[in-house]
């Protein structure tokens, strides 16, 4: 039996399509995380500032909503939020808050992933 003989895939009523991103992909590595060390050692390509998400997130979210996505899962980079033990970076906290609010304003249900790839 081939997959084409099964007919079209049907999703249940209320099924929500979503997207996902990691902080390292979208924002790039930061000196306080372990991925930075991999980049510095030549074990991974330099991520720079990622894919530009930090500047384009509001328009990116509007595009996702326009394309019919209802959810977005993004990771929070703990090395940005707490660049050294016991020191919280309030600017990073506010920036993530703005990103999450922009997603909600675009009509997306936002999900925060607390661990994805890089470690502080």
Label residues 37-76 b or e (16+ Cβ within 10 Å = b).
Answer: eebeeeeeeebeebeebeeebeebbbebbeeebeebbbbb
pTM of the model: 0.85
Answer whether residue 78 is part of any domain.
yes
Report strand pairing: 18-21 vs 71-75.
Answer: parallel
Answer whether residue 80 is part of any domain.
yes
Q: Which domain holds residue 101?
A: 19-113
Q: What is the pLDDT of residues 15-48, one digit of tens each?
A: 999 999 999 999 999 999 889 999 999 999 999 9
With bands split at pLDDT 50, 70 and 90, how would you rate the model's confidence at 76? very high
Answer whether residue 4 is part of any domain.
no
Domain count, the chain: 1
Are the beta carbons of 5 and 100 closer than 8 angstroms?
A: no
DSSP 6-39: G------TT---EEEE-HHHHH---TTSHHHHHH
């Amino acid at each position: 039996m081939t997959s084409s003989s099964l007919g079209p895939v049907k999703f249940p009523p209320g099924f929500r399509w979503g997207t996902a991103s990691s902080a390292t992909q979208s924002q790039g590595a930061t000196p306080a995380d372990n991925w930075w060390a991999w980049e510095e050692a030549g074990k991974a390509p330099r991520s720079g500032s990622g894919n530009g998400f930090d500047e384009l997130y509001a328009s990116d979210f509007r595009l996702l909503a326009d394309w019919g996505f209802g959810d977005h899962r993004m990771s929070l980079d703990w090395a940005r939020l707490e660049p050294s033990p016991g020191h919280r970076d309030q600017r990073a906290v506010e920036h993530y808050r703005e990103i999450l609010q922009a997603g909600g304003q675009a009509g997306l249900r936002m999900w925060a992933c607390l661990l994805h790839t890089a470690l502080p």
